[in-house]
């Protein structure tokens, strides 16, 4: 612990009381103080954090605590981390068979009954307000699907950021292989060609009928 305090004092020029406070609160279990300092400087550059060295150290340590520990322990810290890290971008690829959720419906007589449904193939995003959205930007309704989705992502954080394609809503993964844009376009061309051929045949048949009528006349 004393070695860590001395490193902070020497490299960051904080006083002993400040270094002791930082190490005691956040860095007691840190195995490599120099790796933390790399993270510290990278975070300062990326986040544009301002303030005294002590204030910046505390802010970076709190971020590190959430990113490397607390987000795996409680959902509130997880959501805070998620919204600050992935705002305005996609972050999670969901598949149809990932989970099954239940919700209530009502029959014609107003009686409630429970139904089950599978999760859907979708790219989960976060907008500028920190809301979970579909890829087209529509926010998820605050219902059973959204609650179970958050729970599923929380338990499968290793999949965050995996299978995300920035320029396309499609991602080729062994478990799920949707059509690519090229495949969709080729299918569109086939349909257009089929329609064209059908119209051409109708036109030719109509022309033959007209020619036959002229010959008879």
Mean pLDDT value of segment 42-51:
86
Percent of the chain residues topping a pLDDT of 90: 29
Q: What is the mean pLDDT of the chain?
A: 80
Query: How would DSSP label each residue in the chain?
Result: -HHHHHHHHHHH---HHHHHHHIIIIITT-S-HHHHHHHHHHHHHHHT--S-HHHHHHHHHHHHHHHHTGGGT-HHHHHHHHHHHSTTEEEEEE-TTS-EEEEEEE-TT--EEEEEEE---EEEEE-TTS-EE-TTSPBPPSSHHHHHHHHHHHHTGGGTTTT--TT-S---BTTB-PPPHHHHHHHHHHHHHHHHHHHHHHHHHHHHHHHHHHHH-
Distance CA 40, CA 44 (A): 6
Poorest-confidence range of 47-61, 101-115, 200-214? 200-214
- The stretch 147-172 carries a mean pLDDT of 78
Which pLDDT does position 85 carry in this prediction? 86
Mean pLDDT score, 179-201:
58
Sequence spans of domains, the chain = 2-68, 86-159, 180-217
The pLDDT of 171-200, averaged and rounded, is 52
- Which of the residue ranges 23-27, 121-125, 192-196 would you say has the lowest mean pLDDT? 192-196
Model pLDDT, residue 17 = 92
Q: What is the pTM of this model?
A: 0.64
**Residue-wise pLDDT tens digits, 108-136:** 888 888 888 899 899 999 998 889 999 88
Cα torsion angle, 191, 192, 197, 199, sign: positive
């Amino acid at each position: 612990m004393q070695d860590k305090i001395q490193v902070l004092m020497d490299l960051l020029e904080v006083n002993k009381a400040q270094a002791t406070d930082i190490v005691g609160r956040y860095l007691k279990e840190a195995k490599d103080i120099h790796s933390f300092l790399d993270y510290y400087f990278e975070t300062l550059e990326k986040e544009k954090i301002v303030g005294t060295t002590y204030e910046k150290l505390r802010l970076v340590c709190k971020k590190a605590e959430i990113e490397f520990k607390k987000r795996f322990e409680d959902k509130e810290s997880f959501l805070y981390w998620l919204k600050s890290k992935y705002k305005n971008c996609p972050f999670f690829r969901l598949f149809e068979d990932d989970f099954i959720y239940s919700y209530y419906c009502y029959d014609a007589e107003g009686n409630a009954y429970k139904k089950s449904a599978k999760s859907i193939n979708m790219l989960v995003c976060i907008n500028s307000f920190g809301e979970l959205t579909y890829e087209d930007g529509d926010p998820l309704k605050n219902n059973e699907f959204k609650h179970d989705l958050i729970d599923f992502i929380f338990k499968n954080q290793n999949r965050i950021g995996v299978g995300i394609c920035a320029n396309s809503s499609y991602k080729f993964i062994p478990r799920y292989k949707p059509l690519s844009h090229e495949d969709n376009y080729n299918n569109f061309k086939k349909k257009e060609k089929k329609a064209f051929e059908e119209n051409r045949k109708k036109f030719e048949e109509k022309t033959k009928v007209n020619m036959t009528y002229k010959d008879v006349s």
